[in-house]
Amino acid sequence: MSRRVRKTERDAHCTLPFVASDSVGQCHPYMMRSAKVFEMVKVISASAMLCMLFGVGVRHAAADEAELQLKARAQLELAEEQAFKQAAVLASPWIVRIDTVGGLDIVGQTLTSTAPTSGVIVSEDGFIVSSAFNFLSKPASVLITLPDGRRFPAKTVATDRLHMLTLLKVDVAGLKVPQAAPKDGVRVGQWSIALGRTYDSALPSISVGIVSAVDRVWGKAIQTDAKISPVNYGGPLVDTDGRVMGILVPLSPQGNSESAGVEWYDSGIGFAIPLDDVYAVLDRLKLGKDLRPGLSGVAIKSGDLYAVQPVIDRVRYDSPAHKAGLQTGDTIEKINGQPIKRLVQLFDQLKSRHEGDSIEMTVKRGDETITKQLTLVGELLPYEVAFLGVLPQRENSSGKATDPARTGVGIRFVYPDSPAAASGLLAGDRLLKMNDQAIKSVDDLRDQLSRLRPASEVKLDVEHAGKMNVVTAVLSAAPKTIPNEIPASAAPETAKVEEPETGRFTGKLAGYEDEYWAFVPESYSPDRSYSLLVWLHPSGSTMEATIFREWKTICESRGIILLAPKISSRAGWTPNHTEYVRDVVLDFQKQYSIDTSRVAVHGLGNGGEFAASVAFRFPELFRGIALASAALKGRPPEHSPEFQVQFHLIYGDLGQAAAVIQRTASGLEQLKFPVTLRKVEGHRAGYPPTEAVEEMARWLDALDRF
């Protein structure tokens, strides 16, 4: 069957004209049901094919073959068009328009919009479901316009955060509800019609495509190539009989935030949550409690999604997997009796379930097969760093021993009153084993500690003055203060390197209009590993002279490279600048010898707010976030043992944001992030004084602590 439709029909935002109707959903008798329309399509298609293959006329053998083909094609397109319109008319009675009033202009990295969006009625007594993206701005009020033109205020009932759907309620009864197209009957290649109601028209807007895949985004969604955008987010994806296959939402396999997937706007990659799945959780949503994705507490060793059987790398403390007795190294073989041979099969099973759902997990441990019942949860106990209390020796830029035959990690500093100090460890000692497991490098030690919790007891094999000792230490939580004295690591005695550039200089990155300035110590040597501090200025001033004056000497003495991206826009930093900052950092990491465990982002005021958003966007890049007179605007992502991050907050006791920054520090501590808080007496909101800057430099220099 031909998929050609007129250009206007392929426009995602086009509201199509149609035959007159007495009221919405009450069409004149001469309108054909879609089944009859498609019976006509089959006849026309067969006639056209006969003409093309054999040159035979349908009624008059002498008729011109080309003319008949054109007529047949025109009739086919007309029949398709009428079928699409008919489906829109059939679905129209349960599609509503949603208007939001007030709310935030920007959330995270996403600019919000106040344009109308769409929703679908799911119960006669006024419950309506829509895309959670439509309420990203947390609007002050929501207005619903029904298909008959009546308007009602709506209240937000709950959000399904697995499927990114929000349930609304209006005080009205007797509404029409859609018929669901059976989930197991949706076929790849069938017509799919994306509808929305955002214009002042009796009929919804239409975008036509096909079902291009099913069970996408870890088994959650139908995929369509019809154009999907905020115009029809929350609207239905229907078949040619007007039955609802699913609710249109932006989705992404990489995330489950309200804005995940928005980047595929009108790209031909769109998703819909099957209506059967919406009805399956509707009663739970009506209770007014958000439904969160179900979490098991297992982290899987990385590998090819389509070639590797999943092996457990970590088990989160107090998680369902931990309570069930699952262990690192277990190979997952079945979920609910379904064989698991590849990572993608595991993710399809686990990432499509809500908290409260129960699963049966079968694992292989050596020669033993173990089956456990797990009840998934919506939130895991926050990850907390286990602290030993040492700074490692920096033997070269890679963090590995200069002599490959020498194993372990040397200690260059022991924190006072730390577990390491209590166990008798001293600067100059070398850690060789932890709990009988060899320590091969700094990264190896960090990985081993990341699997432990505060209060865990560890056995350490230590080399001290050429002799072997075994000591025990009870790990603690990360300290809340910075030692007054942290010795700078010694610079190697090597000749000055002319390239890459050193000193203070400006530059531009290919592909970007904005400049950056930087300071690289004049004594730079590729044999030394350097910290990297990324300064993001507040709106209206780069503060270049101030930052250079405060940091130049510190950078030279402590081996810090200072990088300061600049923007010319007076509007300040926007989400569009995050990739610019990332790419400048990556460029410097290629040019210079930078220790990836000592990379921090730093900002003042709204520059600090943007600094935090950049670090959250690219957690693999930044190990520290230093904010001056700035607080977090929202909840940070979950603290990860793979990408650990430390916070340093500075505020003036006379500043207007003092109370907010104190609450930010308290909130971060509750989430088990390592936080140091520095109050500057008699200070307002400008750049911190020299003594506070020197303390921040010690914090940066100790980001690689254990």
CA distances 323 to 312, 316, 327, 582, Å, are 15, 10, 10, 39
The CATH code for residues 303-375 is: 2.30.42.10
CA–CA dist 132, 167 (Å, integer): 9
Say if strands 21-23 and 106-107 run parallel, antiparallel, or are unpaired: unpaired
154/167 Cα distance (integer angstroms): 10
Query: CA distances (Å), 463 to each of 406, 408, 467, 469, 593, in order?
Result: 11, 9, 5, 6, 29
- Contact indicator for 431, 424 with CB cutoff of 8 Å: no
Mean pLDDT lowest among 66-75, 121-130, 340-349: 66-75
CA 534, CA 548: separation in Å to the nearest integer?
Answer: 13
387 has pLDDT over 90: yes
DSSP H helical ranges for 559-621: 578-591, 606-617
- Contact between residue 178 and residue 94 where contact means Cβ atoms under 8 Å apart: yes
Backbone angles phi, psi at 446, to 5 degrees: -60, -40
d(CA 329, CA 306): 19
In this prediction, residues 82-99 reach a mean pLDDT of 89
pLDDT band at 14 (very low <50, low <70, confident <90, very high): very low
| DSSP secondary structure code for residue 354 in this structure | B
Q: What is the pLDDT of residue 354?
A: 94
The torsion angle over the Cα atoms of residues 325, 298, 380 and 700, rounded to 10 degrees, is 120
Strands (E), 575-704: 594-604, 624-628, 646-652, 675-680
Instruction: Give the mean pLDDT of the chain.
Output: 84
Measured distance CA(269)–CA(263) in Å, rounded:
10
pLDDT at 35: 45
Residue ranges covered by each domain of the chain: 16-92, 94-286, 303-375, 390-474, 503-701
**Least trusted range by pLDDT, from 99-113, 406-420, 492-506:** 99-113
Residue 492 has pLDDT above 50, yes or no: yes
Percentage of residues in the chain with pLDDT exceeding 70?
A: 84
Domain 503-701: assigned CATH number: 3.40.50.1820
Q: 629 near 651, Cβ under 8 Å?
A: yes
The CA-to-CA distance between both ends of the chain, in Å, stands at 65
Q: What residues does 464 pair with on adjacent strands?
A: 467
Q: CB–CB of 28/22 below 8 Å?
A: yes
Q: What is the mean pLDDT of residues 264-292?
A: 89
Which residues does residue 359 pair with via DSSP β-bridges, in sequence order? 374
> Angle of helix 690-701 relative to helix 544-558, nearest 10 degrees?
50
- Asked whether the predicted pLDDT for residue 494 surpasses 60, the reply is no
* pLDDT tens, position by position, 172-182: 999 999 989 99
Instruction: Report the largest interatomic distance among the alpha carbons of the chain, rounded to a whole angstrom.
Output: 107
Question: Which residues are CB-neighbours of 429 under 8 A, at least 6 positions away?
Answer: 410, 411, 462, 463, 464
Tokens of 233: 């987010």
- pLDDT category, 105, cuts 50, 70, 90? low
pLDDT grade, residue 267 (50/70/90)?
Answer: low
Is the preceding omega at residue 116 within 30 degrees of 0, hence cis? Answer: no
- The reported pLDDT for the residue numbered 369 is 95
Which residues lie closer than 8 Å to 225 by C-beta, 6 or more apart?
Answer: 209, 210, 212, 268, 269, 270
pLDDT of residue 188: 94
pLDDT of residue 81: 78
In this prediction, residue 202 carries a pLDDT of 72
Rank 63-67, 183-187, 511-515, 545-549 by mean pLDDT and report only the highest: 545-549
Over residues 275-283, the mean pLDDT reads 94
106 contacts 261 by C-beta, under 8 angstroms: no
- What letter does residue 124 receive in the DSSP assignment? T
Record: fold of 390-474: Pdz3 Domain (2.30.42)
Least confident of 35-39, 633-637, 657-661: 35-39
Q: What does the pLDDT read at residue 264?
A: 58
Mean pLDDT of 379-403: 76
Distances (CA, A) of 532 to 298, 427, 519, 522, 584: 33, 25, 10, 15, 12
Q: Do domains 94-286 and 303-375 have the same CATH topology?
A: no
- Report yes or no: 539 and 604 within 8 Å, Cβ to Cβ: no
Q: Average pLDDT, stretch 563-591?
A: 90
CA gap 650, 629 in Å, rounded: 6
Measured in whole angstroms, how far is the alpha carbon of residue 514 from the centre of its chain? 26
For residue 556, what are its two tokens?
């030279």
Question: What is the length of the chain?
Answer: 706
Distance separating alpha carbons of residues 685 and 702, to the nearest angstrom: 26
Grade residue 55 by pLDDT with cuts at 50, 70 and 90: very low
Q: How far is it, in rounded angstroms, from Cα 278 to Cα 296?
A: 23
Q: Which residues contact 256 (CB under 8 A, 6 or more apart)?
A: 161, 162, 164, 293
Compare 17 and 442 and report the one with higher pLDDT: 442
Pick 94-286's CATH classification: 1.10.10.60, 3.10.129.10, 1.10.1060.10, 2.40.10.120.
2.40.10.120
Residue 582 has pLDDT above 60, yes or no: yes
Higher pLDDT, 141 or 78: 141
Predicted local distance difference test score (pLDDT) of residue 642: 86
Q: Which two tokens stand for residue 362?
A: 């079968």
pLDDT tens digits for range 676-699: 999 999 998 889 999 999 999 999
Per-residue pLDDT, 17: 32
pLDDT tens by residue, 15-37: 333 333 333 333 333 233 444 44
SS3 101: strand
pLDDT at residue 308, as a whole number: 85
Is residue 213 within 8 Å of 253, Cβ to Cβ?
no
Report how far Cα 382 is from the mean position of its chain's Cα atoms.
18
Res. 51 pLDDT band, cuts 50 70 90:
very low
* 606-617 vs 578-591: helix crossing angle, rounded to 10: 70
Compute the distance between CA of residue 322 and CA of residue 320 in angstroms, rounded to an integer: 5
Model pLDDT for residues 301-356, shown as the tens digit of each residue: 887 788 889 999 999 999 999 999 999 999 999 999 999 999 989 999 999 999 99
- Please, how many CA atoms are within 13 Å of residue 521, restricted to the half-sphere of its CB? 25
Q: Rounded CA gap, 561 and 174, in Å? A: 67
Please determine, for residue 289, whether its predicted confidence score (pLDDT) is greater than 80. yes
The bridge status of strand 624-628 relative to strand 594-604 is parallel
Separation of alpha carbons 207 and 426, rounded Å: 70
φ, ψ of residue 17 in degrees (nearest 5): -70, 155
Interatomic CA distance for residues 461 and 471, integer angstroms:
7
pLDDT at 485: 87
Task: Give whichever of 64-78, 449-463, 480-494 has the largest mean pLDDT.
Answer: 449-463
Question: Between residues 458 and 487, which one has the greater pLDDT?
Answer: 458
Cα pseudo-dihedral 103, 108, 111, 112, rounded to 10: -30
- Gap between the Cα atoms of 193 and 238, Å rounded: 5
Residue 343 DSSP symbol: H
